[in-house]
Structure formats: structure tokens, C-alpha cells
Chain A
Amino acid sequence: MHSIPGRRLIMALFLIFLLLPIYWLVNMSFKTNAEIVSTMTLWPHTPTLQHYRRIFTDESWYSGYINSLEYVVINTVISIAVALPAAYAFSRYRFLGDKHLFFWLLSNRMAPAAVYALPFFNLYSAIGLFDTPWAVALAHCIFNVPLAVWILEGFVSGVPREIDETAFLDGYSFPRFFIKILVPLIASGIGVAAFFCFMFSWVELLLARTLTSVQAKPIAAIMTRTVSAAGMDWGLLAAAGVLTIIPGALVIWFVRNYIARGFALGRV
């Protein structure tokens, strides 16, 4: 009754469709370049780890992963920290201009990164943050903070008001109530919001590339540049690509039980 006829077949076909291109990338990352260019093989006939070895031993490669993770983590922490109190306010209180403010926040989620690339470049150069992870982290706040507020607002609204009132009657101060009672209650929501901030910050390239040049260059930018400079080193490109998928896969595994609810932004 819940699902449709032939669902196993549909699901299987769709999963194969999703996995096939990823498999091809993994497959290529274990091949030598000679094998990639000369023959069409469905699995590596002479498997090699040379591409991975190169990435893990060459600092210009592995520093890219560190840089990327650095700004993603900073961004996630900032986004959640500022979004939590705001989510509570939007969920519990009415105040002057609340609806306009909420829509204005969301409208920033609709702003194309391409629009902001150049002004961000000017802004962060002017205040001396250019080419640091902070610049990218703050820039990514423009779409992650509204999203975090939106998700967390849904989860806070799921907590009955009586809990707040009881806590205040028991003499809890507001900060203490917030940290001791509210945060544990919406822990799964915070996890989901953090997951989303991580995700959107990790996958974004345009702003990250524009706001960095040498020191804080993200792995995504290193991939594009090295490839065009060194001709086409397909194996290395594939290996770098596979390594960018891994952090995401790990994060999904941790939140897999909340993922469905999280994708509905806590609103079902």
C-alpha cells in the first residue's frame, strides 16, 4: 500500500544509474594512465596506487584537502552558533519585522554565487581576509546561515512550549535553559543543520576559488588548475575526485537516520 508495483526494479535501476559514473571514476583512479588512454577496461587490469601516493606525498595536493576542511568547519560552527538563538526567536516570539526578516534571510539563499564573487573579492581584500579560510567561511555564510535558521526553526517548533515554561518556573535562566535543555532536545536537528552546512560549503567552488589564491586554495581549485597545466593526467584527476567524495560519504553515514527528516527541513 505504501509503495508502487515494480518498486524493487525501479529502485535498483535508479541506484545503478547513480553508482555507475562514480564507479567509473573509482575504476579510473586505480588504472595507470597508459591503460586509461589505450584500452577500454571495465576494471583495472594492472591496478596501481601511484595516483593516490602522489596526492598523499605532494604537499600542494594534500594541503588542498586541509584548506577545504578548514573553511568548511569554520563555516559550520559560525552558522550553527548564530542560527540557534535566531531559530528559537523565530519559532517562539513575534517581533517587529519578523516575517520580513525571515524572508530577507531566505532571499539570500536565492542569490547566485556568481553575483557576489566580485564584491566579495573587493570586500575581503579591503579588510585583509583575502586568501584565508575565514574569507571563504564568511562568504559561505550567505547561503548556509539562512538554511540553518530555516532547518533549526522547524526543529525548535517541534519542542512543546510547556518545556520552556516549566524550565523558567524551575528557575532556569535563559542561557542555562538554552544550553541545558533546549540544545539536547534538538540535538538531532543541530546534527542535520550541521550536515547541510557542511554539504553546501564542501561542494561550493566558485566563491572558494575566487576568494583564495595560494595559502588557502581549496582542493577543488587545485584539481582544475593542475589538470589544465599538466595536460590531462586522467588517473590523478580521478584519484583526487574520489578523495573529495570520501568526507561526504563519511558524514552521510553518521546522519543516515536523520537524513530524511533533515531534507524536509524539520517540517514534516
Chain B
Amino acid sequence: MDKTINQKAWFLVLPVFLVVAFSAVLPLMTVVNYSMQDTFGNNQFFWNGVGWFKELLDPSTDLGGRFLASLGRNLFFSAVILAIEVPLGIIVALSMPREGWSVAACLVILALPLLIPWNVVGTIWQIFGRPDIGLLGYVLNHLGFNYNYVSNEVDAWVTVIVMDVWHWTSLVALLCYAGLKSIPDAYYQAAQIDGASRWAVFKAIQLPKMNRVLLIAVLLRFMDSFMIYTEPFVVTGGGPGNSTTFVSIELVKIALGQFDLGKAAALSLVYNLIILIVCWVFYTVMTNAGTERKAVAQGEPAAEPKAAAAPRPAGVLKPKEGVA
């Protein structure tokens, strides 16, 4: 808003530009180049035009079938992950202790899973879920469930999802906690004076204030769950059968396993594009929702209670609409 125009600022950005260009643009060009060609080994390349892309989007071919199947699994996985982790993260953030040493203790424990290398996360759950040596698998089997993530598809899916919830819910919780911490006490005092219910406080104060961090949380969780590779690879290896083979696993199989560079490159480009588009849609929808609410809140005078969820100055909080 009050930024000054200064083209010399480019000099400050130049180092970043060079580093990222080196490690992003050059490889990306290689990918684009490969995606148009076919290789039969010996570094011999043949022009293939858009052939791979056509095959990729046609489910009747081998490549297209594998890609679309793994894409479907991946989309379903991301949807489940978001549906569980976002509400759970908000609940955990709301349950954080208020002050004292327990705050620091909770923060440290919450952040712990985030700093474990991803293959170790896989290893932890691989061990934990095994019926013979893992606590979870052992207990479940002794309770009469026939739980075995190596041979049963549903069990494999449940294991991968629970593992991801274990691994990443903390991220959502920490983000929401940061959002909650930024709410001034005056808001709560005003709500108390108005006799607002717990739910009204959540809907009219806490949720709108968490809007920004929730956007970050949803974006990060979508990106990372859509790019997931290491954890399911270590736990299930993409199996049983192909039931937990996500797009990244399929891609690495084609690129580094079969060394089918053309196919892998075409898949990479489409894959990357999907992530970009979905992120852009999320971003636009969520920021628009935010600005609309703000516009409503600013446009309407304080006496005009219209949108219940609109963030408004503390003094004019009308809790009763929030309840409805």
C-alpha cells in the first residue's frame, strides 16, 4: 500500500532469482525437453511431439491407466486428509493450555513429529502397525480385528491415513494456535459482556481471525499430501497390489525404475500443473471469501447486523445471530 516504486530493488532480489532459477528453471527445461522425446537407452532420443501427453490422458493405454488411477487415489487421499486434519487441528489448537510451562511442553511435543525424517516416520508406523512386533498391530489383533496392512487394502489405507494425521495434524494445530494467540483479550471481554455462547465466540471471533492461517494450513496440507512419497513408500511400498500407489510413487517407478524418461517427464509436467491449478483455486476462493467478509463488515454500519460470520469490532458483537 505504502510501498515505494524502486526498480533497484531488483538487485536485492537477484540472488534469490539466480539460485532458484538455477535449481528450478534448468531442471524444468530438461523435463520439458524429455517430455517430447522417446528414448531407447544409449542416450539416443527420438522426437515424439505430444504423444506422451495424449497417452497420459487416455485411460485405455498403460501409461494413462496407471496415471489416472494413481491420480484418483491421490485426490481421494488429499480430500480425506484435509477433512480430518483441519477440524482436528482447530480442536487441538482450542484445547491448548493458556499459560505456564505446559504451553512450551505442548508446543514441543506437537512439533516433534514434524521434525522426524519422512522415512523414519514410515519406519515408525511400519514397526508400530506390525501384528508381530508392533504395539498397534498386536493390540488390534488381540482385540479380534484381523488387522494386517501388508495384505489388506483397507488396513493399508487406514494405516497411511492415520500416519499422515499423526505426522501433520500438529502443523494445522500450531498454525491455528498462532492465529488464536493474535486475538486481543478485549474481543473476549466484549463477548462475555454480551453473554455470547461458546459457539458464538468461535464463529464470530475465532474462526474469522484464523482465516489467514487456515489458508496457509489448507494450502500446505494439500500440496504436501498431494506430493506424498516417502512415508507410504516405506510402510506399504505402494501395495498391496497398487492400492496405495500415489502419483509420486508411480512417477518414481517410471523415471528411476524403468528409466522411461519421456513418459516420466510428461507425467511430471501434468502433475505439477495440477498442483499449481488446485492451489491457485484454493487461494483465490479463500482470499475472496476473506475480502468479501471484510467488505461486508466495513460496508455495513455497525448497527446493521447482516452476515453473522463477519468479523466486526469487539464492541458491536451481536452474539445472538451467531447462535442461529
Contacts and interface: CB of A to CB of B under 8 A. Distances in A.
A237 B191 CA distance: 53
B115 A199 contact: yes
A261 B174 CA distance: 9
Query: Chain A at the B interface: mostly helix, strand, loop or mixed?
Result: helix
B5 interface: yes
A108 interface: yes
A81 B19 CA distance: 11
Interface in B42-90: none
Interface residues of B, number: 100
A55 to B, nearest CB: 14
Interface in B108-157: 108-120, 123-125, 127-128, 132-136, 138
A123 interface: yes
Contacts of A181: none
Contact of B95 (A10, A17, A237): A10
Contact of A24 (B15, B94, B98, B124): B124
Interface string A64-88: 0000000000000010011101101
Given A1-B192, A223-B120, A256-B108, A10 B9 contact: no
B275 A223 contact: no
Query: Chain B at the A interface: mostly helix, strand, loop or mixed?
Result: helix
B285 interface: no
B302 interface: no
B2 interface: yes
A1 B184 CA distance: 12
B275 A261 contact: no
Interface in B1-51: 2-10, 12-13, 15-17, 19-20, 22-24, 26-28, 30-31
B230 A263 contact: no
Contact of A7 (B95, B117, B248, B264): B95
A45 interface: no
A206 interface: yes
B161 interface: no
A18 B166 CA distance: 6
A173 B235 CA distance: 55
A65 to B, nearest CB: 11
B307 interface: no
Given A105-B16, A118-B261, A1 B191 contact: yes
Contacts of B265: 118
A1 B188 contact: yes
A123 B234 contact: no
Given A112-B227, A112-B272, A248-B116, A5 B198 contact: yes
B91 interface: yes
Given A24-B128, A114-B229, A95 B9 contact: yes
Interface string A25-62: 10010000000110010100000000000000000000
A21 interface: yes
B117 A220 contact: yes
A36 B127 CA distance: 11
A206 B223 contact: no
Given A2-B188, A112-B275, A223-B119, A139 B96 contact: no
A115 B115 contact: no
B12 to A, nearest CB: 4
Nearest to A247: B115
B16 A149 contact: yes
B99 to A, nearest CB: 10
18 contacts: A3-B95, A5-B198, A6-B95, A14-B169, A110-B227, A112-B229, A118-B264, A120-B23, A120-B27, A123-B30, A141-B23, A142-B24, A203-B117, A203-B118, A205-B118, A237-B127, A252-B112, A263-B178
- The 6 tightest CB contacts between A and B, nearest first, are A248-B115, A119-B27, A264-B178, A7-B95, A89-B12, A93-B9
Given A95-B6, A220-B118, A234-B127, 10 more contacts: A15-B110, A37-B133, A40-B138, A95-B5, A110-B276, A123-B27, A141-B23, A142-B24, A264-B212, A267-B213
Interface of A: 1-8, 10-11, 14-15, 17-22, 24-25, 28, 36-37, 40, 42, 78, 81-83, 85-86, 88-90, 92-96, 98, 101, 105, 107-120, 122-123, 138-139, 141-142, 145-146, 149, 161, 199, 202-206, 210, 219-220, 223-224, 234, 237-238, 241, 244-245, 247-249, 251-253, 256-257, 259-261, 263-265, 267-268
